[in-house]
Structure 1
Amino acid sequence: MSAAPRARSTEAEDGRRRDLRRPPAPEPLPLPVVDNHTHLDIVDGDDLVDVEELLARAAETGVPHAVQIGCDLPAARWTVQAVERYPALLGGVALHPNEAPVLAAAGELDAALEEIAELARHPRVRVVGETGLDYYRTGPEGVAAQQESFRRHIRLAKELGLALQIHDRDAHDDVLRILAEEGAPERTVFHCFSGDAEMARVCGDAGYYLSFAGNITFKNAEPLREALRAAPQDRLLVETDAPFLTPAPHRGRPNASYLVPVTVRAMAEVTGADLEELCAALGRATEEVYGTW
């Protein structure tokens, strides 16, 4: 493919060198499940991702399909190339909320959003996302640009009849407010859900889908597990957010779609659900949101 994947740092947040060996494959799931959010365009260090190999490994563990998300212009272009080449992938394109203030300051936000709108018209792009708000990395000076970008992504998803995937970090109230003000798309997904149990109930009552990632396995994630218990099972999705958020016991190592079974089994344990029934529910919700591959 003409676009090169982007590397991320080989150092952990505490400055130690990360273990870049891929974890072993888990036991396959009893029914197929989709990785609802992955970034195959982002790689660890100098690692060269063999997309075909990773997709094959995922299929062997019961994860035959994935949604590839491109959240800046280079990644969105790469995503369109990827969904054309690999039948196992559908795509999502958007400007990540942290991109919006940078583009706005350069006077390039309008042009970037116009290109996203064109890329989103590809028939195998089924998602506008990830978009939303992130007040963790962007300070008050970037809030207006983030909110304007979010509103325009919401309108685009409704215009094209696509699902919306939301990135929400330290911005729960404003995300919910803007969705209410704009009118949420029929299929709205909170990617890597990060709210508490009360927010999970609010989102469930609104008909939103909640996608959980490997961080539900982290020791300090009990509030997230409480949110999972509070969420309606028919609104649950699962994702990797790969190469990030690798589930325990492999935290810190590269994540990929073939590790989804680790998270699904954790979800079943947390909720007390039968594993096969949970897989079936995840499959139904995925098809409701994205259609068929």
Structure 2
Amino acid sequence: MKLIDSHCHLDRLDLTAHNGSLDAALEAAREKGVGHFLCIGVSAENAADVKAVAERYSDVHCSVGIHPLDVSADKEPALDWLLRELDHPRVVAIGETGLDYHYEPESADLQKQSFRLHLEAARITDKPVIVHTREARADTLVLLREAQLASAGVLHCFTEDWAMAKAALDLGFYISLSGIVTFRNAEALREVARQVPADRLLVETDSPYLAPIPYRGKPNLPEYVREVAEFLASVRGVELEKLAEQTTENFYRLFPLARAI
């Protein structure tokens, strides 16, 4: 059985449980069936870090991009910078990018400008885009429809309703679920999890954030993607092995450049 943590921040992990060793943290995940990791870029500052991690491990690839909460007027990303950063053999995706009006609604215009830039980079490079969206459903969908991407992408750590999931699916996007789906108050999200087509589903940890039950409140780790997958398999009424096989197949279909490991 092979699972993939399709969204983790390996450069930001709390490694206390593994004596400060990223090697040990990844090996613990491998022992639980995790065979591939996508390390996510969130800023201009960490682009070099995620690429260095991906260069170090054969089963790690990465993305490069600017998180919507890292966008500001004094460090607005430039398209040429993004295209240069994306031109690397270990970079298989763009992002994470998107819109977050929960924490910074006042920066909506800057966020939309940055999101459009990332979507243009996706159009130019044909690399899939990793989308963060929170309390910005309408604007997120408008920009995705405008972009008309051939390679689409994924709405990661999905927490919205089925109407938004369906709209994203209709645009060719995938839906990735994290440990939030295990939370006691997440029944609406579990209903979404039951409805996402099997060939459009991914699993992730978003570690070091949002550890699933029974680890909620503790630092999240890539090895816990097993708990996310087990819970999802139960919710969807399928065997873990089947869900692992399907989500792995989905990952490589969405991120074809990650196949060469």
Specify every segment of 5 or more residues in structure 2 that has no aligned partner in the other structure, as ranges. Answer: none
Once the two structures are superposed, what CA deviation does each residue of 1:116-159 show, in whole Å capped at 9, x if it has no partner? 3211110110010100000011123x111100100110110121
The amino acid that maps onto 1:224 is L
Give yes or no for contact 1:79–1:91 (8 Å, CA) kept in 2: yes
Once superposed, what is the RMSD of the aligned Cα atoms?
Answer: 1.7
Tell me the equivalent position of 2:69: 98
Q: Distance in 1 between matches of 2:151 and 2:206?
A: 23
Assess if the C-alpha contact under 8 Å between 1:69 and 1:93 holds in 2.
yes
Q: Deviations over 1:157-185 (max 9, x none)?
A: 12112110000011111101110012134
Structure with larger Rg:
1
Query: What is the percentage of aligned positions where both structures have the same residue?
Result: 36
Residue number among 223, 245, 254 corresponding to 1:258 in the alignment: 223
1:83-232 matched pairs, under 5 angstroms = 83-100=54-71, 102=72, 104=73, 106=74, 108-111=75-78, 113-140=79-106, 142-232=107-197
Q: CA deviation at 1:39?
A: 0.4
Q: CA deviation at 1:52?
A: 1.4
- Report the alpha carbon displacement of residue 98 of structure 1 after superposing the two structures with TM: 1.1
C-alpha distance in structure 1 between counterparts of 2:207 and 2:77, whole Å: 29
| In structure 2, distance between residues paired with 1:269 and 1:110 | 42
Match of 1:128, SS?
Answer: strand
The more displaced of 208-217 and 196-205 is 196-205
Secondary structure, aligned partner of 2:10: coil
Cα distance change on mapping 1:53 and 1:44 into 2, 3 Å:
closer
Separation (CA, whole Å) in 2 of partners of 1:51 and 1:258: 12
CA contact (8 A) 2:141 2:167 kept: no
Give distance in 2, aligned partners of 1:237 and 1:45.
Answer: 25
Paired residue for 1:42, among 12, 17, 23? 12
Shift of 1:273: 1.8
1:279 aligns with one of 228, 244, 258:
244
Give aligned pairs, total.
257
TM-score by length of 2: 0.93
Please give the per-residue CA displacement for 1:68-106, whole angstroms capped at 9, x wherever unaligned.
Answer: 002011211101111111111000010000111x2x2x2
Using the size of structure 1 for normalisation, the TM-score is 0.84
Structure 1 stretches of 4+ with a deviation exceeding 6 A read 45-48
More displaced, 89-98 or 268-277?
A: 268-277
How far 1:197 sits from its partner (Å)?
1.8
Distance 1:260 1:161 in 2: 28
* Cα displacement string for residues 173-230 of structure 1 (whole angstroms, at most 9, x for unaligned residues): 1101110012134131001011112222222232210000001000011111111112
Counterparts in 2 of 1:98 and 1:89: CA distance versus 1, 3 Å: same
Distance 1:49 1:40 in 2: 12
Q: 2:103 is paired with a residue of what secondary structure?
A: coil
Q: Secondary structure at the match of 1:136?
A: coil
For 1:239 and 1:110, the matched residues in 2 are separated by: 26
- Secondary structure of the equivalent of 1:72? coil
- Contact 1:76-1:116 at 8 Å conserved across structures: no
